[in-house]
Each structure stands twice: as C-alpha cells, then as structure tokens.
Amino acid sequence: MKKLLWYVLAVIGLACTACGNSNNLYPVFGTVTYRGTPAAGATVFLRRHGADPMNEHAIMGIVGEDGSFKLVCGSLGNGAPPGEYDVLIEWKQGQSQARGLAHKARDRLKGRYADPQRPRLQALVKAEANHLPPFELTD
C-alpha cells in the first residue's frame, strides 16, 4: 500500500506544474467509508467548481486503512487552496494494484462518484485547517 501511495504521489507531483503559492495551501483531512467500512485504497480528487481541469492544479489523497485521507497539492505539499470544490472518488482495486497498476483495475464504485459532469460530493476549503465531513458512500 505504501509503494502505491508513493507511486501515485510521484505521478501527481510530476503532473501538477503549480498549485499556486505553497503559502496559500491549507491542511485538508477527511474520511471515506463505503457501507460503513473504510474505503482503503480509494483516491479522493478535488476539482474547483467550474474550473477547466486542464488549467487547474491536481489535488488528491489516498484513503488509508482506517478510512482517513489528507490532501496533497503536487510537489508543493499538503493541503489545498481555499475555495469550493467538487469531490471525485475512485476506488480501483484488484490484483494489479499491488504492482502499481491500479489504473487498469475497475472502479468498485462503478464511476458513481467519479463523474466530473455530475459530481455527487462537494467540499469547502477555508483558509485554516480543514476537517471535512465524512464521505459515506453507498450503492
């Protein structure tokens, strides 16, 4: 699991050219459960409301064994700039995940929480430490 986390963070770090000034990042923490159980290995993405994803920074986090996550903004570090965001969640698991190939696995949530055209979840990041309300996923 730790190898996958480092792999994903390295890829995001390379893909994210700028998340703004690192002084404008604020810690963001939360939890994700599916049917009351931690969604360990799921990926949480934040996308600014109405923003063009090609011109925006990548903000993401990996859900741990206990269901918790913290967001990272590329190589600038932990957190996210203040603002209103759509929250997208994918939970790709399979035998290939252990080899860092989770992108080839199917989303256990069947895309219900990963559609950028119809986001089901939102979050508000303030200019302070942010503990988001729990994301409780269902079928």
Predicted structure pTM score? 0.78
The predicted model gives 80-108 an average pLDDT of 78
- Residue 64's contacts (CB-CB under 8 Å, 6 or more residues apart) are 38, 40
- C-alpha span between 129 and 125 (Å, rounded): 9
Give pLDDT tens digits for 112-138.
999 999 999 999 999 999 999 999 999
Residue 100, number of CB atoms within 10 A of its CB: 13
Strand, helix or coil for residue 97: helix
pLDDT at site 75: 78
- C-alpha span between 69 and 132 (Å, rounded): 10
Query: What DSSP character marks residue 91?
Result: -
- C-alpha span between 137 and 36 (Å, rounded): 8
CATH code for the structural domain at 2-137: 2.60.40.10
Give pLDDT tens digits for 96-110.
445 455 556 899 999
